[in-house]
Amino acid sequence: MIVFVSGAVRSGKSEVAEACARSLAHGGRLHYLATAQATDEEMAARIRRHQERRTASGAYWMVWEGPARLEQLAGSLRPSDVVLIDCLTMWLANDLFVGDSWRTEEASFAIAGRLLDDVRSLADACRAVVIVSNELFSGGVPTDPGTFCYMKTLGWLHQQLVAEAAVAAVVECGLVRVKKGRWPQ
């Protein structure tokens, strides 16, 4: 099962997704695929807050740093496990902006296709994959070619994942608005 959780920056989507993953675990192990990289002090502080919140929840999370360890994660999953990917926007950016992949639509969509295949593989190997992603599309069309390519690619990836998801929700101000399926209790 795929659960897709999106929302604006600082909307509370990570907390909501973590609670969702814990509720789906039913005795299975919790895996956290952390895709952010501490590229500056602000991001390092955000990563620390996420780590502290997970620790405070009392749940034990097996943390996998970055998509480079995805093969190890996939190989260690049990059918009862739940994987939380936080977040898809960083995961795509990490891959898309290595070299010049963003310069062509074909290359950028190939990267998105690989990420989609990775999510499918994870979902086939465990009980559920909960995906966190940012909504970036309410501010209009950017003029910068890299940003425009990124947004088009992310939009396509969102559509593909939501089409395959059992549940899709948007978080606003910490409140969940379910757009597809039934929110796990």
pLDDT in tens, 55-92: 777 678 888 877 656 777 888 999 999 999 999 999 99
Predicted confidence at residue 3, as pLDDT, reads 98
Are 37 and 65 within 8 A, CB to CB? Answer: no
Looking up tokens 């943390």, which residue turns up?
63
Selected from 3.40.50.2000, 2.40.30.30, 1.10.3720.10, 3.40.50.300, the CATH number assigned to the domain covering 2-180 reads 3.40.50.300
Predicted confidence at residue 45, as pLDDT, reads 86
Measured distance CA(122)–CA(116) in Å, rounded: 10
Measured distance CA(165)–CA(129) in Å, rounded: 9
Task: Read off the pLDDT of each residue in 99-118 and give the average, rounded to a whole number.
Answer: 88
The separation between the first and the last C-alpha atoms of the chain, rounded to the nearest angstrom, is 14
Task: Read off the pLDDT of each residue in 29-50 and give the average, rounded to a whole number.
Answer: 86
Looking at residue 101, what DSSP letter applies?
Answer: G
Predicted confidence at residue 172, as pLDDT, reads 96
- With 90 as the cut, is the pLDDT of residue 116 above it? yes
Just list the catalytic residues.
50
pLDDT: which is higher, 84 or 37: 84
Measured distance CA(7)–CA(15) in Å, rounded: 12
Predicted confidence at residue 40, as pLDDT, reads 87
- With 90 as the cut, is the pLDDT of residue 39 above it? no
Query: Taking the model in full, what pTM does it have?
Result: 0.91
Predicted confidence at residue 133, as pLDDT, reads 97
Across the chain, the runs of DSSP E, i.e. the strands, are 2-7, 30-34, 61-65, 82-86, 128-134, 167-172, 175-180
Predicted confidence at residue 115, as pLDDT, reads 93
Of 5-9, 35-39, 112-116, 167-171, least confident by mean pLDDT is: 35-39
Looking at residue 2, what DSSP letter applies?
Answer: E
Are 61 and 32 within 8 A, CB to CB? Answer: yes
Query: Which one, of 77, 89, 79, lies nearest residue 7 by Cα?
Result: 89
Query: What is the number of other CB atoms lying within 10 angstroms of the CB of residue 80?
Result: 14
Looking at residue 108, what DSSP letter applies?
Answer: H
